[in-house]
Structure 1
Amino acid sequence: MTIQSLTSSGCPYSLDPTGADIQGEGAALRVLGPAARILLPGDIPAWSVTDPDLIRRLLVHPDISKDAHQHWPAFIERRIPADWPLRHWVDVRNALATYGAEHRRLWRPLAAAFNVRRVRAMAPQIQAITDTLLDVLATVGPGEVVDLRARFAWPLPLLVVNNVLGAPEDMHDDFRDVIDMLFDTTLTPEQAAAAPALVNDLIGQLITRKRRAPGDDVTSQLIDARDAGELSDEELADSIQLVIGAGHETTVNLIDHTVVSLLTHPDQLALVTSGDIEWSQVVEEGLRHQAPIANLLLRFVVTDVTDPVTGITFERGDALVVNYAAAGRDPDTHGPTADQFDITRTTARDHLAFGHGPHLCLGSELARLEARTALASLFTRFPNLRLAVTPDQLQPLPSFISNGHTRIPTHLG
């Protein structure tokens, strides 16, 4: 059977909701061509787009939308079940899930908060948060096993994004406990319905408290935009949810995977700790090798689109999943060693881990700054850091969206 017949024969590839082998799944999908028909949980049909050049063309195409409310007939006609576990990814009304003028309107107040000047000004604060977390780790007893994800990779971005939002300290733990639920693709319909409700309740509490005590933070700025008539109440809450997701999950997984990759490639670690390679280069290879968001949901075809290079026709109403994990391992871009972690790679920066076009991740520069700071500080403080388990014992997150580990057991040395 040819690749073309595989991708159009009515025998779509079912994504594994457990995310047990994201890279293996990406490799299998690449074999099926630049884009392949898939089934999402609940037997929802879609395309998985794996070819980086095709991804770039589609992400800037005027007839590819992020708005299910306007451009997904199955959603509009209520053929998507109300209890579909992934429904919150298309229900929201923020800059990530809108199109055209609506997207630009909702993007504007967020873009100002994440401009390069403001991000660079946060460097001392990020360093201070990093140092505090490392100081606590330094009190661990000799021989004790430390979960580096739970104790370092996870809280660092959470503390940063909560500072960006102006979230009071007593709310930090509550946000920590519910964020992961939004990315878990193994939840039952009941569990999946509960997660957004919990997040929205917390966001409602945050908005109430920031109305009483506004500050120089993103939440206060978004409240001002709501009061000026630029956002609805729903858009205000969903925009805060976007900041939490964009400012946290990507960075956690970036730090997580890059730490593991360096610990399992001591020759690579030696290159960077000796100063032969910059930490910025390590971060870019980490983004390429293990895209923090493996698959991003969803885009929709506004009217039939035939790609001029591949000849694939995406029909009006088709749903698209962008497979960033597979794109990062594309052998046409990165050569026969695309599956290997190599911080000397000349194409390391040629990745799509933060997206492309109008929906480029608004927290991308903040994530890079946090990762550079975290990695350099961690390996300076603990030069003898090592895994406490073999690499094959590390368990992936239960998600085909979020690409990280459940735990990173380590000895600090």
Structure 2
Amino acid sequence: MAQQACPFLTIEPSGQDLYGEISRIRDQGPAVEIELPGGVRAWWINGLELNKRLLAGPETSKDAFQHWPAWINGDISRTWPLAIWVSVRNMVTAYGSDHSRLRKPMAAAFTKRRVDALLPRVQEIVDRALDDLERIPAGEVVDLRAAFAAPVPHEVVCELFGVPRGEDGPRRALYRIIDSFFDTAISLEDAQANAVDLYGTLTAFLQDKREHPADDLTTALIAARDEGSLSEQELMDNLILLLTAGFETTVNLIDNTVHSLLAHPDQLELVRSGRVTWEDAIEESLRFEAPGAMSGLRYAVQDIEIEPGLTIPKGDPLVVSFAGAGRDPERHGPDAERFDVTRATSRDHVSFGHGVHHCLGRPLAMAEATAALTSLFDRFPRLALADPARPPKRLRSIISTGHQELPVLLHGRNPGPDLGPRAEEAGAIRKLSELRGTSGTKVPRA
């Protein structure tokens, strides 16, 4: 077995140079041993075909309790800041027959009938968010992530799971908790407090839902629990998975697609002119900026030969990099780092997973993104980045790929003769302050 020479590449927790790190890892080989935040070592996998092989085949598991000796033996502390990504027991971290057992009630809950029935409501949610945007004075800079990309999926996922409204209800709490859930630069203390807050909020929510059942996914999952298909812990952890994944990845998909189109006006014009479809643009966005940069850790069930002289030992953890696979030059060509809505290979990505772990929520996420993007650009045809020369700051995450803020001008960069640069800057500060609140936490509509 070939061993990589130290020092290991250390993945910076803030994710601000994620694609630069991915490129440097790719230069070292198809599987490279790196150090994750918190000092945990793992093998990083970038190539698309190798990603697919390890996602779909029997060589790897996502169950740390069965297949990661360092976790089983306690060598990895349960206080590791990323521990919740390992400790949860849901269909994403399950292996073999356990995965099939847990996925079955989720698949039943995500029926085409249920998703189709939700689509008119998705459009209503999109239209209401756009109505709110239209009330903003021309010339003010708007954080489109906070004002549109986030509230739409938040409302949709809450309706799908029957999360009640109300000033003191779980909607606001879940929004705040999920916002921190993907922060891989978070302190140990804050990560632990967020996990306690998450489980406490969901415990109260499940108790309320048992007392007030309805035609929603949470009630369907509770029924599966009562029938013996799930344990109480599995019910809780699968709910965490569905709420977080159903929200964050769709927010990022909308955010990233808007940013990529506005940053590449020639590509936006191809979509506007009808020469390519909105689906083409969304698929290229999924390839170019995978909404989830990586899967949860996987573990080698056996020694895995990557190539002659390079073997991942049994029991070692792996990072399957969706972001790396999307920009694999062996599949997408030497210009894989370029956003191109006409790219013939755009649909060949793993942003929704692959094989038995392929995302059940893909049809809903695609429908949400299509409704949001087509309606946004129809309503605001002059939409523009507020500062094209300054890329928005990325999320503090190596897991979630999006922007902390997406400052835009809804009516272009010609707001009127009375708004010069100073007034425009003042409007930006005022609007972002209103959206984020005095605590700096983004607050959705209740």
* Counterpart for residue 298 of structure 1: 297
Matched, 1:27 2:26: no
Looking at structure 2, the residues matched to 22 and 310 of structure 1 have their Cα atoms a distance apart, in angstroms, of 28
Give me the whole-angstrom Cα distance separating, in 2, the residues matched to 1:116 and 1:33: 41
1:157 aligns with one of 134, 153, 159: 153
Structure 2 distance, partners of 1:289, 1:311, is 31
1:140 matched to 2:140? The reply is: no
Matched, 1:351 2:349: yes
Q: Larger deviation: 66-75 or 167-176?
A: 167-176
- What SS does the aligned partner of 1:26 have? helix
| TM-score, structure 2 normalization | 0.89
Residue pair 2:46, 2:320 contacting (<8 A) in 1 also: yes
Matching residue of 1:378: 376
- Which blocks of at least 5 consecutive residues in structure 2 are unaligned? 412-446
Q: Does the 8 Å CA contact 1:264/1:391 hold for their aligned counterparts?
A: no
Task: Give the alignment of 1:136-215 within 5 angstroms.
Answer: 136-170=132-166, 171-215=170-214
Q: 1:149 to 1:87 in 2, by over 3 A?
A: same
Distance in 2, Cα, partners of 1:406 & 1:33: 31
CA–CA distance in structure 1, aligned partners of residues 11 and 308 of structure 2 = 23
DSSP-derived class of the 2:366 partner = helix
1:49 aligned to 2:45?
A: yes
Q: Is the partner of 1:410 in helix, strand or coil?
A: strand
- Does 1:330 find its partner at 2:344? no
Tell me, which stretches of 5 or more residues in structure 1 are unaligned? none
Tell me how far 1:245 sits from its aligned partner.
1.7
Distance in 1 (CA, whole Å) between partners of 2:305 and 2:6 is: 19
Counterparts in 2 of 1:78 and 1:129: CA distance versus 1, 3 Å: same
Q: How far, CA to CA, are the matches of 1:351 and 1:23 in structure 2?
A: 16
C-alpha distance in 1 between matches for 2:12 and 2:121: 39
| Amino acid aligned to 2:89 | R
CA contact (8 A) 1:203 1:237 kept: yes
Once the two structures are TM-superposed, the CA of residue 120 in structure 1 deviates from its matched residue by 2.9
AA of the residue aligned to 1:398: R
Distance 1:276 1:173 in 2: 41
2:174 is aligned with what amino acid? F
Structure 1 residue 399 and structure 2 residue 387: aligned? no
Partner Cα distance (1:289, 1:50) in 2: 14
SS at match of 2:115: helix
- What secondary structure, in the 3-state scheme, does the structure 2 residue paired with 1:384 have? coil
Aligned match of 1:130: 126
Q: Is the 8 A contact 1:34 1:310 kept in 2?
A: no
1:88 to 84, 88, 112: 84
Contact 2:109 2:221 in 1 (8 A): no
Counterpart-to-counterpart distance in 1, 2:339 and 2:173 = 35
What secondary structure does 1:96 align onto? coil
**Equivalent residue of 2:408, what SS?**
strand
Offset at residue 40 of structure 1 (A): 0.8
In structure 2, the residue matched to 1:74 is: 70
Matches within 5 A, 1:283-322: 283-307=282-306, 312-322=310-320
Query: Aligned letter for 2:59?
Result: D
The Cα RMSD (Å) is 1.4
Q: Distance in 2 between matches of 1:189 and 1:347?
A: 41
CA distance in structure 2 between the partners assigned to 1:175 and 1:311 by the alignment: 47
104-113 vs 146-155, which moves further: 104-113
Letter in structure 2 aligned against 1:85? P
Whether 2:55 is the aligned partner of 1:59: answer yes
- Using the alignment, how far apart are the partners of 1:286 and 1:32 within structure 2? 26
How far residue 249 of structure 1 moved from its aligned partner, in angstroms, is 1.0
Kindly tell me: are residues 244 and 310 of structure 1, through their superposed partners in 2, closer, same or farther at Cα, counting changes over 3 Å? farther
Distance 1:45 1:123 in 2: 43
Deviation at 1:310, TM superposition (A): 6.2
Q: How big is the shift at 1:301?
A: 1.0
Q: How far apart are residue 11 of structure 1 and its match?
A: 2.8
Percent identity over the alignment is 48
Rounded Cα–Cα distance in structure 1 between residues aligned with 2:111 and 2:318: 29
Q: Count residues in correspondence.
A: 408
Equivalent-residue separation in structure 1 for 2:328 and 2:337 (angstroms): 9
Higher mean C-alpha displacement, 131-140 vs 312-321: 312-321
